[in-house]
Amino acid sequence: MAGVRISHPTERSATYTLIDGSRPYQEPLSCVRCGRIHPFKTYHLDLDGEGFTIVSPEVWARLGRIAGNPFTLANEVAKPPPLVVGGVLSALPRIVAHEET
């Protein structure tokens, strides 16, 4: 599946969380990635040192529906790197935003 490379204008080396308020978990989830409790489906967007990350077209569309979305489209990525799901990071990144849709 193709991906979309997006960039944040100011944030670097941080994690941006995107919450899907229409998809509640059966029980709140204690997140090992960011240390927060998530009552809804949450996407973690890990920004690199230049403020870029790769997301799915669906996540990019969801970001586009948020008023004041700071991200811009950089380019499409035909073969994005594989995702790591449910892994524990050795050092938790800074959490810079918490958006609800």
Range of the domain at 23: 3-80+95-100
88 assigned to some structural domain: no
For the chain, the farthest-separated pair of C-alpha atoms sits apart, in whole angstroms, at 37
85 assigned to some structural domain: no
> What's the total number of domains in the chain?
1
Angle (nearest 5°) at CA 65 between 35 and 10? 60
Q: What pLDDT digit, counting tens, does each position of 23-77 carry?
A: 999 999 999 888 899 999 998 999 999 999 999 999 999 888 888 889 999 999 9
Q: What pLDDT digit, counting tens, does each position of 83-94 carry?
A: 665 554 444 455
In this prediction the pTM is 0.76
Nearest Cα to 1, choosing from 52, 59, 41? 59
13 assigned to some structural domain: yes
41 assigned to some structural domain: yes
Task: State residue 98's pLDDT score.
Answer: 46
